[in-house]
Amino acid sequence: MKAICAVILVSLCLHSGAVEVRGRVLDPDGNPVGGAEVWLTRERIVSTATTDDAGAFEFLNVRAGWLSVTARKEGFALTGLTGHVYDDLAVDLHLAMPDTVRIRVIDHAGKPLEGARVKHLVVGGAFEVHVSDLAQHGFPSIRSDEDGAVAIPGMPEGSYVTVTLEHRNFCDLTLPFLVPGEHQHPAQLYPGQVLRGRISAPDSPGTAHARVLLFQEPQEGQRMLLYDVLADAEGYYRTMVTPGSYIIEAHHPDHPMPKPETVRLADSLEDTVMDFALSKAHTVEGTVVGPEAAPMPGVLVQYIIDNFTQDEAFTDRNGAFRLTVSAGSGRVRVVPPRGYMTAETLDVVVHMEAVEHTRISAIALEALPVLRGRIVNADDEPQAAVLVRTMNLNAPLFALSDDAGVFEIPLEAMPDEEAVELRAEHTLRFLRRDFTIGLREQEGEVIVRLRRFEPDLRPDEPGNAPNDLSRLAGKPAPPLTCRAWINAEEITLEDLKGSVVVLFLWAGFDPFGINAATIAELTLLHQALAGAADDVAFVGVHDDSDPPAAVRRYVAEYGIEFPVGVDASPMITLNRYDTRVLPQVVLLDKRGVVRSFDVENRLPELIKDLRRRP
C-alpha cells in the first residue's frame, strides 16, 4: 500500500492553550502546490486556508487537542492528518495520484436510493474527513444519483477508505475498507426511529456546535460509537437510529458534559425526544511533573464525578491541563504514561460549589519499578527456565529466570491495583508459586520458593477459548496445508509424531494488541524447552491474508524462532481447525490427537502433563 500522508499521533490536550499548525502541501515529486484548499477541524468547528506559491498554509491560535487537517487540489488525491496535538506543529502533506471509490446505494426494499450523502471518511486508516462539516466551507458535497450511484473522487491510489453514509429518512451506514477502482460496492440503508431534541445552556435556549453521541451499551467494558450528530445553530439535532438501547452523551467545548443517559428507542411512529440542558462551566487547572519536577506533556488527566468521567484533557508542552467541570465535588485522576506511576496513591479531591475556578498543586509522577526476584526450590537452589507471568494486568507480561534464578519484568503501565500478582512456574517440573509484589514496597529482589502442585486438567470450556474446537477434541489433528514456511522446510504433523505439538494459529495484523501476550509466552516457552526437552514442538500457522514476505516481517518483528507456515487459500488449515478468531493455541499429544484448546493461564502445565503421557 502506498504512503498517503504523515500521521500525527501527538498526545491530546482538550482544554490547554493555543497552538500553531503550519505546513506545506507537496505533489508526488515533492514540489510545492499553490492554491490547494486546506481545512482544519477541531470539535467539528472548521477553519479554512489556501496554500501560497510555496505550498504553505498556517492556522494560528488553534485550541490544542484532537484535530484533523484535510488538503485538496484538483487532479490529486486528498491528503491530511488526524491526531492529538498539544504543541506547535509543522508538517508536510504529500498528495498522491487519485482514484475513485464507487458505491451503489439501495433502500430496504432493494430500490436505488437517491440523495444519500457521504457524511464521513477515514482514508487509509490515516486521517478522517468530516465531509458534512467541510461541505459548508467549500468541500464537495457527495450524494447518490437517481440510480443510487455514489462516486467519491480524490481517494489515493492503492489505499482503502471507510465511508459513512447518511440520509434523512434512513439510518447512517458505515462501510469499512472500501477499495478505489471500477468495482461498485453495495450499500443498503434501512429506516429507523427518529431521535431528536435540543441542547440548551444557561445563557442560551439553543447552543450551536453541540454534539450528540450514541454508543452501543458497553460489553466487557468496551463501548462503540455508533452515531455522531451535530446540532444546528439553534441547538436542534435530529438523526435516524436503529431501534435499540444506547448510551447517549451531549458534548460542547465550552460546557461540562452532563452525565450520560440510557435511551431505549422502540420501533414507533412517534419521534423519540431527548433534550439536554448544559450547566455553567467551572474550571480546574494544574500541572503534571515528572522526576526532578520536569514538566510532563501528553499525560491524560480525568475529572471524575460518581464514577463518571465528566472531562478529560492531556497536558500541554508545559505539563499544564485545564478541565471544564460542573459545580460540586469531583476527583482529578492522572493516568500515567508508559513507564510511570503517580507518586501519591489517591486522586485529588476538589470542591467547586463556592468557586468557579481552582488550581491544584502539581501532581508528581515517578518511574515504575522493575519487578525483580530470584526463584529457588525448597533447598534454596536457584531455578533456571522458570516462566514468570503477571496475573492481574490487562496485558500480561512474561519473563524467564536465568541460571541464577533471577528474573526481571519492567512494568509498562501503572496497574489498577497497588500490587502486582505474579505466578512463577517451572517449565519442566510441576513446581509453582503465586506471589505478590507491591509497587511502592519492593526493596531488592523478592525470593520465590517453588512448591509442588497438581495441574489443572479440567475439560476444555468452549466459552473460555477464542474458538470452539470441541468437534476436534480427542480426534487426530487435521493436517497443515501451507503455501510457504518460515524458519523451516515444509512440516507435516506426521513428522512430529512422538512430540507434544503446540500449534499456534494467528494473524500478524493485530490492531487490538491481542497477539503480543500470546506470542511472548510461546516464544519464552520455546526458548526454555528447545534445549531441555526434545519431545515438544512449536509450530505456527499464519492466516492467508498476507503474502509470505509480510509474514516473514511479522515473524522477525515478534522474534518468533519456531517454524511458521502461511496458510493456503482460502484459509484451508484454519477452516479445518474451526478457527475464526485469532490467535488460537491448540495442543496435540504425542500421537497427534487434539487434546486442549482452552489453554489460557494453564499452558505450561498442560504441556508438562502431555509430555508424561505416551
Cell of 438: 507491591
Q: What is the CATH number of the domain that holds 389?
A: 2.60.40.1120
Place 494 in a pLDDT band, splitting at 50, 70 and 90. Answer: very high
Query: Is residue 164 over pLDDT 50?
Result: yes
For residue 460, what are the β-bridge partners? none
Portion of the chain with pLDDT greater than 90, in percent: 81
Query: Is residue 6 over pLDDT 50?
Result: no
Give the residue, 510 or 277, on which the prediction is more confident: 277
Portion of the chain with pLDDT greater than 70, in percent: 96
Q: Are residues 56 and 113 in the same domain?
A: yes
515 within some domain: yes
Residues of the domain holding 128: 1-191
182 within some domain: yes
Q: Among candidates 475, 312, 446, which has minimal Cα distance to 369?
A: 446
The model's pLDDT over 464-477, given as tens digits with 9 standing for 90+, comes to: 999 999 999 999 99
Place 511 in a pLDDT band, splitting at 50, 70 and 90. Answer: low
Cell of 242: 436503529
Q: Are residues 94 and 241 in the same domain?
A: no
Q: Are residues 43 and 121 in the same domain?
A: yes
Query: Is residue 1 over pLDDT 50?
Result: no
Q: Is the dihedral of CA 391, 395, 400, 405 positive or negative?
A: negative
Query: Is residue 35 over pLDDT 50?
Result: yes
pLDDT score, position 228: 93
Q: Please count the structural domains in the chain.
A: 5
Q: Are residues 182 and 257 in the same domain?
A: no
Q: Among candidates 429, 430, 420, which has minimal Cα distance to 389?
A: 420
Q: Are residues 149 and 215 in the same domain?
A: no
Q: What is the mean pLDDT of the chain?
A: 92
**Extended strands (E) in 259-326:** 261-265, 272-273, 276-277, 282-289, 300-305, 308-314, 320-325
Query: Is residue 439 over pLDDT 50?
Result: yes
Mean pLDDT lowest among 169-173, 180-184, 392-396, 525-529: 392-396
pLDDT score, position 442: 63
Q: Are residues 118 and 223 in the same domain?
A: no
> What's the residue count for the chain?
614
Domain boundary among 250, 277, 304: 277
Please state, as a whole number, how many other Cβ atoms lie within 10 Å of the Cβ of residue 474. Answer: 10
The model's pLDDT over 53-84, given as tens digits with 9 standing for 90+, comes to: 999 999 999 988 889 999 999 999 999 999 98
Give the residue, 150 or 413, on which the prediction is more confident: 150
Mean pLDDT lowest among 134-138, 192-196, 264-268, 500-504: 264-268
Query: Is residue 208 over pLDDT 80?
Result: yes
pLDDT score, position 220: 55
pLDDT score, position 275: 96
Q: Are residues 76 and 211 in the same domain?
A: no
Q: What is the CATH number of the domain that holds 333?
A: 2.60.40.10
Q: Are residues 224 and 298 in the same domain?
A: no
Q: Are residues 423 and 288 in the same domain?
A: no
Is the bond preceding residue 583 a cis peptide, omega within 30 degrees? Answer: yes
239 within some domain: yes
pLDDT score, position 203: 85
Q: pTM to 2 decimals?
A: 0.76
Which whole number is the average pLDDT over 323-330?
A: 94
Domain boundary among 344, 367, 390: 367
Q: Among candidates 343, 317, 413, which has minimal Cα distance to 11?
A: 317
Place 222 in a pLDDT band, splitting at 50, 70 and 90. Answer: low
Q: Are residues 38 and 123 in the same domain?
A: yes
Query: Is residue 444 over pLDDT 90?
Result: no
432 within some domain: yes
Please state, in angstroms and rounded to a whole number, the distance separating the CA atoms of residues 153 and 143: 12
Query: Is residue 12 over pLDDT 50?
Result: no
Place 394 in a pLDDT band, splitting at 50, 70 and 90. Answer: confident
Which whole number is the average pLDDT over 150-167?
A: 95
Domain boundary among 326, 344, 367: 367
Q: Among candidates 300, 390, 386, which has minimal Cα distance to 338?
A: 300
